Amino acid sequence: MEPWQEPDLYELDTRVAEVKGDAARFERTNFYPGGGGQPHDLGRVEGASFAAEVTEVWKEGDAIWHRLRTERGAIAAGMTLHLSVSRDRRQRLVRMHTAEHILFRSLQNTLAKSLSLVKISLGPERSSLYVRADSLGWGDVLAAERLANTIIWEDRAITHHEMSREEFGRFPRRAQVRINEQRVTAERLRIVEVADFDLSACMGTHCRSTGEVRSIYVLGFGQEGDSWRIDFAADATAEMLLAAGEARNASARLGIPVAQLAGRIDAMLSELERLTERVRALSLQAGSVTKEAIGSMTLVWAELQDVEQKQLVERADSLLAPGVTVCFLNRKGDNCQVLLMAKDLNIDAPRMLLGILGPLGGKGGGRDGSAMGGCPASRTAEVIPRLREALAWASRTL
């Protein structure tokens, strides 16, 4: 194992091997150079006549380079320096990386369907797994979270197996190893094992036992593109206690056990949706409709709010009659939805609506005697006057 792979090697004395501008390479380093979703380490280097902050670490071939922000003195090859990795940040990243191994394997073991890893993104505060699966729900994710925490609380040993690619070909448990052989180019492989649970090819830093992770808590979950994103944190006792407290508070207010909260919320949301639809329908029925004669035509119009498009069209259609034009102005937040329908009139509704809404910063479209569009809600009051002018002109030309 390289010094930079030692999870708790925070301090190291070494000599400067090479300097290029503001970057230095050391004979040995305990700074992780980044890779596999795990960010590089941060920290400091100090000597008798030199001190600097390490702001970036990266690998070029077998060499590891460190970007330095000099605070005093000048660095030179052969100089002896003391390297200090940021302890708290390293510990958080080590826990996160180990947690990722445990959580992904827990997802694989929990799901009866295929699951593949797209990528990981690790951070000291929160991390993310991106996976592909036929389907994934909160039930699956929470079951994996429970299994992951069981593995952590059992404090299983974490060991490493280093071998050549040829030796890996003969490794008895090769089929169980999570590895993308097309992306792994190193001549030597490092297999990280969580006892009796997981085998993964990985060059990162990991805890020495699962108990050091302390806990895994899923912060959020949802679909992103063609994959699922699962946000999580390690050593998340505070977050878990907060969630548990909020859940108990909610269960007490509803007078039901915590285990019944999700079902009750689903029922309440369903009822809310039903009532919302009912209120919208009643609002549409109760909305005052204005009728006015414009030449040989009749204009029927109304201002409404938050009515669903299907209900809007059905209501307008019920008001249509020969020689009648219907216009509904339906406010939705900062926008105003405009519906224009005409029957038995030689009116190009889409063209007329576009001519009305265009100067108001809106747009519209449709077909024949029916058009739908929108404009900023702040310009709503200008729509009907412009429509009256358009209909008056159309009435004179019919």
- pLDDT tens for each residue of the chain, 398 residues long: 899 999 999 999 999 999 999 999 999 999 999 988 899 999 999 999 999 999 999 999 889 999 999 999 999 999 999 999 999 999 999 999 999 999 999 999 998 668 999 999 999 999 999 999 988 999 999 999 999 999 999 999 999 999 998 899 899 999 999 988 767 777 889 999 999 999 999 999 999 999 999 999 999 999 999 999 999 999 999 999 999 999 999 999 999 999 999 999 999 999 998 887 776 666 665 567 899 999 889 999 999 888 888 888 988 998 999 889 999 999 989 999 999 999 777 788 999 999 999 999 999 999 888 999 999 999 999 999 999 999 998 888 76
What is the residue extent of each domain of the chain? 3-85, 91-254, 256-286, 287-397
Instruction: Identify the burial level of 142 via C-beta atoms within 10 angstroms of its C-beta, where 0-12 means exposed, 13-18 middle and 19 or more buried.
Output: middle
Q: Domain 287-397, what fold? A: Diaminopimelate Epimerase; Chain A, domain 1 (3.10.310)
Q: How far is CA 146 from CA 134, 150, 155, 212, in A?
A: 21, 6, 15, 17
In the chain, alpha helices (H):
87-110, 138-153, 165-169, 237-254, 261-286, 309-319, 349-357, 383-397
Rounded to an integer, what distance in angstroms lies between the CA atom of residue 183 and that of residue 169? 16
Q: May I ask the CATH architecture of the domain 3-85?
A: Beta Barrel (2.40)
Closest alpha carbon to 178 in 164, 193, 167, 188: 193
Pairing of strands 80-85, 43-46: antiparallel
Q: Cα angle vertex 179, ends 176, 185, to 5°?
A: 145
pTM: 0.71
* Domain at 91-254, CATH from 3.30.980.10, 3.40.50.10740, 3.30.70.2700, 3.30.1600.10: 3.30.980.10
Q: What is the 3-state secondary structure (H, E, C) of 344-396?
A: CCCCCHHHHHHHHHHHHCCEEEEECCEEEEEEEHHHHHHHHHHHHHHHHHHHH
For position 112, what pLDDT does the model report?
A: 65
